Structure 1
């Protein structure tokens, strides 16, 4: 007889009892997964249309990534950065080449990559640009999501993320996302960086107006300001290109990477930039005990090699067209709008029909897992290993939910 605590109701009840309620998960308890499919403790299968917020771009338990992790676990898992291990150079070199940059600084989480980017931009501003001490400012966008550390929530415009966590870190100017004139007006002689998501994920997969990112690049170049692209969710194949910035031919001064870089196995993040930017750091000025550890590097190097073939970018572009065509057919039939690129979509549901949470619960009942955001908006981000037939299945289940 199976212990009732191991079944969905008991496991959900215990999770709610013994954990802080900083999340409101769907009442499903996953026990195994492979590719684009999840299985719960009761043996029911679900199509994963969230992919760990893009951390699982290559699907669950990708054979090459699992093999790399197993092989490294049998050899070496941690040295700290006090020493050099045999996986480190390959990872840094191959990621730098993928990014077209000179240097890589490995960290662990996306928020750490953002914090690192902020510190590097400020130090660059003081040492290279000549900004007076303590006066550096960074321009950011409304609706941003860069993480949840104290500094990062200081420039969030999401009150759930920000409220009651002050006092807040100064040095940030917030402008409307997609408004180039407002951004240009906010840049002054003490601005060291513009920090943006090329597509705002948490906000509902918001794509900026055409020409916006090239315009930001132009302003940054003309004013001697670093363009820092947070590609933690949008990068590494998600939108049909290696980086979302590529859709408009924009090359930032600094990439912030994470999520998919760890292959859904270990947390891995990184900052990539040229020597004139990352070279401002000297020993002892920034670091991480686990950043760039052997296990992380072994997995992330395999991720970079998967991306180097271009296969996953092509899959995302081609299957993304199918996904968006299917979703667009539902506009006016319960959907108000569809946004996104590649295998990434934000869907606005008619709020008179249901909330985003209700839509996710009903999709779950039909064997599809997705995530709501901001009331009546859904985000879809299936693993890039999803098939055309599975995409059609997900769209069909959404259509059934919308039809009531």
Structure 2
């Protein structure tokens, strides 16, 4: 009877009635949030351990980012790139410095950043490397997730993302993730780029073998191939460093950034590279009406400044160790394996106990939000503002779910 009086079931039904069913969300309807916590329409508070797939690295409604958005809303929100606005130069200069690159190309979504990286790599291959026009190939990894545009799903190995959306875009070669020998064999004189996630998030926070990323870097240098690192989920503090590549002292030729770059306020993505790569583009060859708009730049500049202090990277490293220590203690007690770095973890649940979806539903009942993927795996990616006590609370609730 009490359940029927609550607003959540009705709101869930209304949402499902009027939207395409391209998602299968948990039946919680969030109406407000702050920091690491969200509140539903019935006043129940939940610890957010997904953080918008890392888009909310700095927590919900970080005061610095909200203040920047409010201030910019009162002045200017959009000009298009037909004109220059007063927030653009600071954003591009400061993001380029954070990345250690010379140029930045702002876009909106992560998928747009990936599409931009693909176009730039092909253009570079034809103009700089000398690959015959229309014959460039890009090497990618099995288990990848770079987005869901037509081109990107063409080289996905996830049947749910790919099946039924052909014909597919040619020009990609897929090799096992973490296999340097297979990568070396796939690269030929017409290969223009290797496109990889330094940690595969959607696949279940899969960390490659030690030495793999340095090996990729060496192969790309030796074969005159661009190393494009998709740091859309793994970057900007998530793994305990600004970029996941840093943890193996690797510098790619191209960074693809998104999600956390918009601070959970507006969609912002970017491609960062040196002039010899991004400089191949000329006016009219690529663009976006909303890419690099004043509101996005105002918020994203403050994101870059938050990261420039190193505070959030340190929090992720220290608190991440606490998280992983707690989770490893559950191996053999319902968990089969724990992977990840920093405040990012992929957990394989004993499939004889429950599916990942069932685990997330039970966590939701205990007021902790997480996301399942690939059967019995769940992912944890709490905001970097989470506290030690909140981490312990999440691990305790997971232990309770696993123990039945």
Distance 2:301 2:371 in 1: 29
Question: Do 1:5 and 1:11's aligned partners in 2 also have CA atoms closer than 8 Å?
Answer: no
The corresponding residue for 1:89 is: 89
1:228-267 aligned at under 5 Å gives the runs: 228-267=228-267
Distance 1:86 1:334 in 2: 54
CA deviations on 1:304-360 (whole Å, 9 max, x unpaired) are 000000000000000000000000000000000000000000000000000000000
Distance 1:176 1:254 in 2: 21
Shift in CA distance, 128/63, structure 1 to aligned 2, threshold 3 Å: same
1:7 is aligned to 2:4: no
Using structure 1 for the length normalisation, give the TM-score.
0.99
Shift in CA distance, 133/360, structure 1 to aligned 2, threshold 3 Å: same
1:45 is aligned to 2:45: yes
3-state DSSP class of the match of 2:295? Answer: helix
3-state DSSP class of the match of 2:207? Answer: coil
State the shift of 1:16 in Å: 1.1
The corresponding residue for 2:376 is: 376
State the shift of 1:6 in Å: 8.2
The corresponding residue for 1:157 is: 157
Shift in CA distance, 146/5, structure 1 to aligned 2, threshold 3 Å: farther
Question: Do 1:111 and 1:149's aligned partners in 2 also have CA atoms closer than 8 Å?
Answer: yes
1:353 is aligned to 2:359: no
The corresponding residue for 1:98 is: 98
Distance 1:133 1:381 in 2: 42
Distance 1:345 1:185 in 2: 31
State the shift of 1:301 in Å: 0.1
The corresponding residue for 2:204 is: 204
Using structure 2 for the length normalisation, give the TM-score.
0.99
3-state DSSP class of the match of 1:151? Answer: helix
CA deviations on 1:178-199 (whole Å, 9 max, x unpaired) are 0000001000000000000000
CA deviations on 1:195-249 (whole Å, 9 max, x unpaired) are 0000000000000000000000000000000000000000000000000000100
Distance 2:143 2:172 in 1: 14
3-state DSSP class of the match of 2:331? Answer: coil
State the shift of 1:108 in Å: 0.1
Distance 2:146 2:5 in 1: 36
Distance 1:101 1:209 in 2: 27
Distance 1:249 1:184 in 2: 21
1:72-83 aligned at under 5 Å gives the runs: 72-83=72-83
State the shift of 1:5 in Å: 9.9
3-state DSSP class of the match of 1:379? Answer: strand
Unaligned runs of 5+ in 2: none
Distance 2:373 2:317 in 1: 24
Distance 1:68 1:184 in 2: 46
The corresponding residue for 1:125 is: 125
Distance 2:375 2:8 in 1: 26
Distance 1:325 1:6 in 2: 38
Distance 2:198 2:107 in 1: 21
The corresponding residue for 1:386 is: 386
The corresponding residue for 2:227 is: 227
CA deviations on 1:61-119 (whole Å, 9 max, x unpaired) are 00000000000000000000000000000000000000000000000000000000000
Distance 2:366 2:333 in 1: 19
Distance 1:247 1:89 in 2: 29
The corresponding residue for 1:396 is: 396
4+ aligned runs moved over 4 Å, structure 1: none
Distance 1:201 1:7 in 2: 33
The corresponding residue for 2:57 is: 57
CA RMSD between the two structures: 0.8
3-state DSSP class of the match of 2:286? Answer: coil
3-state DSSP class of the match of 1:31? Answer: strand
3-state DSSP class of the match of 1:339? Answer: strand
Distance 1:9 1:225 in 2: 52
